[in-house]
Amino acid sequence: MQRRTFIQSLAAVGALGFLPSGVSRALAQEAQALSVEQLPALEGNLTLYLGRGEGGLYENVLDAIRKRNPKLNLQIRRGATAALTNTIVAEAKAGVRRADLFWAVDSGAIGLITDEGLARELPTDLTAQLKTGFQYPRWTPVTGRIRTLPFNTEKLSKEQIPDSIMALADSKLSIGWAPAYAAFQSFVTAMRLLEGEKATADWLRGVSRHAKTYAGELGVVMGVERGEVDLGLANHYYTLRLKSGKPDARLDLAFTRNDAGCLVNASGVLALSEGDLPINFIRYLLTKEVQSYLSSEAYEIPMVSGLSPPEGLPLLSSLSPPKVDLRQLADLRPTLSLMRKVGVL
């Protein structure tokens, strides 16, 4: 869906009616994605801190919400997610609140803010819309991404790929990875939590012996497709995006089971100020229009129940991601220290 088409369609969907302080009980019982038609109009002043990401697609969503709600004065401060997180915490310690909302491109940053007690508790009718396992009291995932093993289909079949991420350390497969990339570091953090420091260090050493390093995970996937390596470690959407532009790409996805290799991480949003307006803004991000747009254009996973994953990705219910509280991914310092000690950074 092109940017202009999405903005016009979101702005034009039906007439907005006001609902009494949140969504009605009947809508809450549906626990499915709502349409913008079912939401109250947004009126007033809001400041959103927005972590950079997704090539402007999040900006398209915000433009569409503005166009649909002409009485909303939405101010946006953009920056790196980690920097904005530190700013919010520093402002709070100084007794200042400049942001009403924070939309982060990864959930680790969310943990730093919720741990400081700065995020508002969300209404249960809002969180009930989220998929099982992704319902949190003080923040909500917006879209998800799953760790995958993209592989070259001329070199490997799925049957030749271990379904355990830990087994890759002792395999003879050539592997592409991007250790300096934030998504990879969150994945290693999850491995530390699930497997322990020693097992993670051994895994990093083992894989490094037959790994090729890339600057980012799009580079990993492109290297896999060119046959530079047998398989890679990357978020799912890089493969889906490459295949959308090159349908005959020598590329497919494999998944591990119940370990950090198939971790589901998420972008997330939280409210920092009181009142209905920040909460109702969050409702817009969870509508079927916005969720479907980010699925079709960014190839991210809708986090609201009842919506399908992007084309080319199995249903989450058919996969086996590990049970990890995504807020625990916030502290990267032990991970970075471990990676430096092992010599992969």
Mark the binding-site residues for Fe cation, compressed into ranges. 237-238
Residue ranges for the known binding site are 237-238
Tell me the DSSP string of 121-132.
PPPHHHHTTBPT
Strands 140-151 and 264-271: antiparallel
Strands 252-254 and 44-51: unpaired
Backbone conformation region of residue 217, classed left if phi is above 0, alpha if psi is from -120 to 50, else beta: alpha
d(CA 139, CA 149): 29
Structure token pair of residue 252: 């497919």
CA distances in angstroms from 343 to 202, 207, 268, 336, listed in the order given: 12, 12, 32, 10
Structure token pair of residue 62: 């915000």
CB distance 36 to 10 below 8 Å: yes
